[in-house]
Amino acid sequence: MALNLEDFGWNSFFQNHCVNNHNDNLAPARVSFQGRGVYRLISEGGELWAEIGGGLRHNSLDSGDLPACGDWVLVDNPASRDRTVIRFVLPRRTSFSRKQAGTAVDRQVIAANIDTVCLVSGLDSDFNPRRMERYLAIAGESGARPLIALNKADICPEVSGRIREAKSLAPGVPVLAMSANAGWGVEDILNYIGRGQTVAFLGSSGVGKSSIVNRLLGRSAQEVRETDSYTGRGLHTTSARQLFLLASGGLIMDTPGMRELQIWSVDGGLDTAFEDIKALAQGCRFRDCSHQNEPGCRVQAAVLQNELDARRLANYFKIRNEAHYIELKKTHSASWVEKERWKKVAKAVRKRNPGE
């Protein structure tokens, strides 16, 4: 039985790019599972497993160019086979990226072609406004709509206060309180998932993303573990990104918990996450005010007048500086790669013309 790819997010955006890269021997499919070197795809013929073709791997500038969960790809026409090879990644409508862990300057795409980023925070020891601001900045850069889900409301004595605090961090962003464990409030997320639309759940370990996914699916598709009672930190349960189709239509994506979310790029996302600081900056005396020591700084004045939380401004500086540092490292890395490339060219020329 052939599947309708529109149920899985296929639309005119991908169709147009598919036509531009048309090949009768290639077929479109969406990545529903991303493991180590192996991918599960959804195609018109059903599910199949795939690996990356050598050409795609060779031509990719970094790991961010390789297929990620949610990507639409072109694969060798599988016909009746259940295995195939990914030859091409179609352009992404949206993507949620971070700097890959470690010292290397490399991009990791966490989720691709998502319509809504559901940022999950636990209303226990996990609740952290500064981390939420970081997630909002990266979500703003992704191109997807942000949504905040405050889970574990059944064990929080001050839910209304937490909701107000979350809303103050992100004016205009919907904030939902729920308890996946007790089973209430989760269904409200369905109001943000239509046919062919994808919602990705992001958050640190132990906030209850997998429990929310299981509630929405009506079955235990993801393993669930409790938060470590000694450290208060979340325990990793989801080890890979996965895409699930809801019976009511729409798709949801679970992702592994992230204890570290390093910035990759937040050019536009910073203003989205800190709209209040952006608005205050319009009143600064100098257009290029850094909001540090300049005279006539409206942002610093707002801190002194208790209009702006000093901790929020400090986090704004931290994220901005981190993004600037990463940009410098990316520029340096690109320069080094170009230099090495020309070294190889010069070496090849010398071998061809040893007398010169």
Burial class of residue 229 (count of CB atoms within 10 Å of its CB; 0-12, 13-18, 19+): exposed
Question: Does any domain span residue 310?
Answer: no
Q: Are residues 102 and 222 in the same domain?
A: yes
Q: Are residues 82 and 100 in the same domain?
A: no
**Mean pLDDT, residues 187-196 taken together:** 93
Q: Are residues 173 and 208 in the same domain?
A: yes
Give residue-wise pLDDT tens across range 152-165: 999 999 999 999 99
Give residue-wise pLDDT tens across range 61-102: 777 889 999 999 999 986 657 789 999 999 999 988 877 665
- Answer whether residue 352 shows pLDDT above 70: no
Residue 120 tokens read as 């999950």
Q: Left (φ > 0), alpha (ψ -120 to 50) or beta: where does 79 sit?
A: left
pLDDT at residue 280, as a whole number? 95
- Answer whether residue 184 shows pLDDT above 90: yes
pLDDT at residue 333, as a whole number? 56
Q: Are residues 133 and 206 in the same domain?
A: yes
Q: CATH code at 148?
A: 3.40.50.300
Question: Does any domain span residue 279?
Answer: no
pLDDT at residue 235, as a whole number? 41
Share of the chain above pLDDT 90, in %: 49
Give residue-wise pLDDT tens across range 2-52: 789 999 999 999 999 887 766 778 899 999 998 877 899 999 988 999 999
Higher pLDDT, 140 or 304: 304
Please give the full DSSP string across 184-201, using - where no structure is assigned. Answer: BSGGGGGGG--TT-EEEE
Q: Are residues 183 and 163 in the same domain?
A: yes
Residue showing tokens 């000093």? 310
Question: Does any domain span residue 116?
Answer: yes
Q: Which of 254, 278, 296 is where one domain is finished? A: 254
Q: Which of 254, 289, 316 is where one domain is finished? A: 254
Range of the domain at 39: 5-89
Higher pLDDT, 35 or 312: 312
Handedness of CA 282, 285, 286, 292 (dihedral sign): negative
- Answer whether residue 132 shows pLDDT above 80: yes
Q: CATH code at 48?
A: 2.40.50.140
Residue 285 tokens read as 């005396």
Q: Are residues 113 and 242 in the same domain?
A: yes
Q: Are residues 85 and 99 in the same domain?
A: no
Whole-number Å distance between alpha carbons of 346 and 9: 47
Q: Are residues 217 and 76 in the same domain?
A: no
**Mean pLDDT, residues 269-286 taken together:** 91
Task: Compute φ and ψ for 111, nearest 5 degrees.
Answer: -150, 140
Q: What band does 227 get if pLDDT is binned at 50, 70 and 90? A: very low
Which amino acid, residue 173?
Answer: V
**Mean pLDDT, residues 173-187 taken together:** 94
Cβ–Cβ < 8 Å for 114, 104 = no
Whole-number Å distance between alpha carbons of 318 and 51: 39
Alpha-carbon 157 to chain mean position: 31
Share of the chain above pLDDT 70, in %: 79
- Answer whether residue 262 shows pLDDT above 70: no
Q: Are residues 163 and 39 in the same domain?
A: no
Please give the full DSSP string across 80-116, using - where no structure is assigned. Answer: T-SEEEEEEEPPPS-EEEEEPSSSS--EEEEEES-SE
- Answer whether residue 236 shows pLDDT above 60: no
pLDDT at residue 42, as a whole number? 94
- Answer whether residue 104 shows pLDDT above 70: no
Whole-number Å distance between alpha carbons of 50 and 78: 10
Residue showing tokens 């986090």? 315
- Select from 146, 104, 169 the least CA-distant residue to 319: 169
Which amino acid, residue 17?
Answer: H
Output the CA–CA distances (angstroms, integers) from residue 54 to 77, 85, 153, 176, in the order listed: 17, 9, 48, 44
Q: Are residues 112 and 250 in the same domain?
A: yes
Q: Are residues 102 and 146 in the same domain?
A: yes
Q: What band does 234 get if pLDDT is binned at 50, 70 and 90? A: very low
What 8-state DSSP symbol labels residue 41? E
Largest Cα separation within the chain, whole Å, is 82
Cβ–Cβ < 8 Å for 256, 151 = no
Q: Which of 89, 115, 150 is where one domain is finished? A: 89
Question: Does any domain span residue 186?
Answer: yes
Describe the crossing of helices 159-169 and 129-142 by its angle, rounded to 10 degrees: 40
Question: Does any domain span residue 320?
Answer: no
pLDDT at residue 253, as a whole number? 92
SS (H, E, C) 252-294: EEECCCCCCCCCCCCCCHHHHHCHHHHHHHCCCCCCCCCCCCC
Q: Are residues 206 and 241 in the same domain?
A: yes
Least confident of 89-93, 103-107, 111-115: 103-107
Q: Would you tell me how many other CB atoms lie within 10 Å of the CB of residue 328?
A: 11
Paired sense of beta strands 83-89 and 46-52, if any: parallel
Question: Does any domain span residue 187?
Answer: yes
Question: Does any domain span residue 300?
Answer: no
Question: Does any domain span residue 352?
Answer: no
- Answer whether residue 340 shows pLDDT above 70: no
User: Which residues have a Cβ under 8 Å from the Cβ of 324 and sit 6 or more positions away?
Assistant: none
Give the chain's domain count. Answer: 2
- Answer whether residue 196 shows pLDDT above 50: yes
